[in-house]
Amino acid sequence: MKKKTLLLFLSAALACTMLTGCGGSSDDAAAPTVTDVSEGENTEEADEPTDAAEEEASAEEETREGMYRSELTNEWIDESLQNQRPVAIMVDNEKTALPHYGLNDADIVYEMMNSTANGEITRFMALFKDWGSIKQVGSIRSVRPTNFMIAPEYNAVVIHDGGPFYIDAYLKNPWVEHLSGGFARIKNGKFTEYVTTGEVEKRMKAAGYSTEYNDYAQGNHWLFASESNPVDLSEAADSKDCTLVDLPFDHNGSQLDYDAASNTYLYSEYGAKHVDPLDDNKQMAFTNVILQCAPVTQYDANGYMQFNILNS
């Protein structure tokens, strides 16, 4: 099963209580102990390796011929993909756009409020490293300024269909590359545009975009724990069991239920399991769930907005 990650952007006003309930707020976390060893002091005891340090040094990470660990998921994937940059596909999340196709193959999925109107409706941004294997993803929809702040963190090309004029300033940034509209039309509910087999490579070539990481790549987004020396987060003083993540999105009522059998969080919305027809109608599942709390700037009375994420 993919070690897929779900990231949820929530407005600060709505999210703070939930963040505390699911993982402990940062204010409650114990401060780390810092030991200062000044120059000239006897450091023999500090330099002497502990048993744990010796054990860690002796542990060897697994290697697999012709494969490497993905920088998005830490899973083993073909080494031919190592320098390939991902794409970030905007997926509509209105009920009339269901079912979604291909999301179970995404490496990372962002769900974020797309508008302060319509019950604070959300939209997905799904990142795919191996976009050459895409069969059908969507339906795709318009983009917002926040997405052009997040996608460059992965050096990802954003795939969408249009957007409000508020995105215009972001499109002028040299680190932003995107493909808008003109993808395959497949009859399915209200919205019918999908990314299908071969379209990404064709469109990137036509746009003159590099399919490999370019000069704006910032390096790996995540630092993964070692599988040979795993960290047990349940031992942290402020850790709490969490079997339900009940999200404050009135429009779709999305939630995640912990499944002990698979050790994943199963995603539901609109009162039903979220399934993927391209994956034998399996429910979308996540190994990692990260809740990100940020204030919102609303642009106008129509609900157009952005998250203020370029902050501490």
pLDDT tens digit sequence for 168-225: 999 999 999 999 999 999 987 667 899 999 999 999 999 999 999 999 999 888 888 8
User: How long a stretch of residues is the chain?
Assistant: 312
**Residue 48 in this model has a pLDDT that exceeds 90:** no
Kindly give, in sequence order, each residue whose CB lies less than 8 Å from that of residue 77, ignoring residues fewer than 6 positions away: 67, 68, 69, 70, 129, 130
Q: How many CA atoms lie within 13 A of 280 on its CB side?
A: 0
Q: Give the C-alpha separation, 112 to 93, whole Å.
A: 10
**More confident of the two residues 53 and 23:** 53
pLDDT at 120: 86
Judge whether residue 106 has pLDDT over 50. yes
SS3 for the chain, per residue?
A: CCCCEEEEEEEHHHHHHHHHHHHCCCCCCCCCCCCCCCCCCCCHHHHCCCHHHHHHHHCCCCCCCCEEECCCCCCEEEHHHCCECCEEEEECCCHHHCCCECHHHCCEEEEEECCCCCCCCEEEEEEECCHHHCCEEECECCCCHHHHHHHHHHCCEEEECCCCHHHHHHHCCCCCCEEECCCEECCCCCCCEEEECCHHHHHHHHHCCCCECCCCCCCCCCCCCCCCCCCCHHHCCCCCCCCEEECCCCCCCCEEEEECCCCEEEEEECCEECEEHHHCCEECEECEEEEEEECEEECCCCCCEEECCCCC
What pLDDT is attached to residue 285? 96
pLDDT band of residue 34 (cuts 50, 70, 90) is very low
- Tell me if 23 sits within 8 A of 293, measured CB to CB: no
What's the average model confidence in pLDDT over 22-45?
34
- The per-residue pLDDT for 3 is 67
pTM above 0.85, yes or no: no
27-34 mean pLDDT: 34
